[in-house]
Amino acid sequence: MEHLKDISVFVEAAAAGSFSTASKKLNLTRSAVAKTVARLEARLGVRLFHRTTRSHNLTEEGRFFFERCQRAVEEIRLGQAELESGRREVRGKLRVTMPVIFGRRCVAPTLIGLLEEHSGLELDLSFSDRVVDLRGEGFDLAVRNGKLKDDGETIARRIAFQNLMVCASPEFLQNSGEPQSLDDLPNYDGIIYGKQESHDTWVFPAVDDPWRVVLPRSRLRLDDLEAILDAGLAGHGLIWLPSWMVRDYVANGRLQQVLRSVPSVSFETYAVWPRSPVMLPKVRLAIDLLVRELPRFMK
């Protein structure tokens, strides 16, 4: 059993590419990870890592051993999942990555409710707008918005739709007037979501075409949705945001929806998890909860 523990530490260190990163995932000190790997190397009589002050890269023998150990650890994990699938009580740590704002506002409050029903469950929630490598970074589940790339390594399930809404503050509309159609948008100041030199266009369903692409004039581009909301509330222009972000401000009058006769565009939200012959019970539990509860945040 001690040998199996050493191997599991080695697999985490090799997958993470860093003793420090592996130590955080394993709740060990970096020194403990390094000593475990050294003990395993001594027992095997080979060097598994090239060590420098900045990095730890697998040797040829290390890569060979990692490929086989990774498969073995995965088989053990699947065996545990099959046994756990017959239990009412779900146990273990569930690591989930999700977009920052949507995760904080909608996903995390939903998942945290699992802790009340399953005392043996731990949640490790990570908020990031980048697309993470689920298997490489040790995540059990991801929540992602929009179109997905089929990489063959993951499975996805649609869990919700998000509708987008064009709004502005009453002060802005009083000063600039209200656009009556999509053709009016290029004549109005808008606050655009964008990163680096690129920017997003505003997209709407169209009768004679799958999409109508429009972009208001803009001198203000922000790469944070909450910053866009704040700028819209301050009267700096039209904003185009998910309804769950603006509905409370529309209800209390701080924002007004415009172009109400124009159908709103929607995009899909997915649960994504590493491809595996058996779904871990804790993952299935989380996905079923999101499918059941997330749509109420979208109204």
Nearest to 142 by CA among 109, 96, 101, 95: 96
CATH number for the domain whose boundaries are 2-84: 1.10.10.10
- pLDDT category of residue 180 using cuts at 50, 70 and 90: very high
167-176 pLDDT per residue, tens: 999 999 999 9
Tokens of 177: 């007037």
Residue 125 token pair? 């929630």
> Topology of 162-266 in CATH?
D-Maltodextrin-Binding Protein; domain 2 (3.40.190)
Res. 240 pLDDT band, cuts 50 70 90: very high
Fold match, 92-153+267-298 / 162-266: yes
Alpha helices in the chain (DSSP H): 2-16, 19-26, 30-44, 60-84, 100-102, 108-112, 114-117, 134-137, 170-176, 225-233, 243-251, 281-293, 295-298
The confidence band for 15, taking pLDDT boundaries of 50, 70 and 90, is: confident
Q: For domain 92-153+267-298, give the CATH superfamily.
A: Periplasmic binding protein-like II (3.40.190.10)
Structure tokens at 185: 């948008």
Over residues 21-43, the pLDDT tens digits come to: 888 888 899 899 999 999 999 99
Whole-model pTM over 0.95? no
Q: Averaged over 153-159, what is the pLDDT?
A: 89
Domain ranges in the chain are 2-84, 92-153+267-298, 162-266
Q: What are phi and psi of 232, to 5 degrees?
A: -65, -40
